[in-house]
Amino acid sequence: MNETKNPPLTPELYAYVLDHNPPLDPVQRELVEITHARFGDAAGMQSAQEQGPLLAFLVRLLGARDIVEVGTFTGFSALSMAQALPEGGRLLACDVSEEWTAVAREAWAKAGVEDRIDLRIAPALDTLRALPQQPAIDLVYLDADKENYIAYWEELVPRMRPGAVLAADNTLFHGRVADPAAGGAAAAIREFNDHVAADTRVEALLLTVADGLTLARKR
């Protein structure tokens, strides 16, 4: 029998979680507020607040020096990872919006990490396909258009070092992945989740973090 041990995530419990995680610094906090003020409903594309410290934790845990992010939006996740990079580390950020990433650039400059981030404004598949074929990537954060998740995966996994980690966001897609009748992006994520589970190149976990976070480690 499947039985969850997850308590209902009430606003009070969520506040408790945030209070017991590393706090956002002033630049991160300002970026969250600016994103919500300027972009309304689209601000929901920003990674959850607890994911910033988690991504920074992964950078330090892996000793990551070569990071790829697919889907940057206003730059919160890239900022969190770039701040944790060691000297000489680089983050390749892929997005298609000059408007959203203009906000990101301002925050990165304010935090003093703009020199660690290589932002490419182009279709991410084009950017990824132009990367060298040899495995060099230490960490990937995937949070972009869901219909292309499998295509991104297939470009990224061969370029990851053994032991590298890919973190994919929204892999529960508002709970709709469990509904066989759900189409569109929910169906794309459901197909992606099945694809990851069947891929023997990695070991993977689907976690109930935020809207679902898959962590896959290359064997």
Q: What domains are defined for the chain?
A: 11-218 (3.40.50.150)
Give the angle subtended at the CA of 122 by the CAs of 196 and 108, to the nearest 5°: 90
Higher pLDDT, 1 or 64: 64
pLDDT of residue 3: 87
Quick: pLDDT tens for 97-152. 999 999 999 999 999 999 999 999 999 999 999 999 999 999 999 999 999 999 99
Quick: pLDDT tens for 172-192. 999 999 999 999 999 999 999
pLDDT of residue 2: 83
Quick: pLDDT tens for 60-78. 999 999 999 999 999 999 9
The answer on pLDDT for 1 being more than 90 is: no
pTM assigned to the model:
0.97
Q: What is the CA radius of gyration of the chain?
A: 17
User: Is 134:159 a contact under the CB 8 Å cutoff?
Assistant: yes
How sure is the predictor about 29, in pLDDT bands with cuts at 50, 70 and 90? Answer: very high
Report the mean per-residue pLDDT for the chain.
97
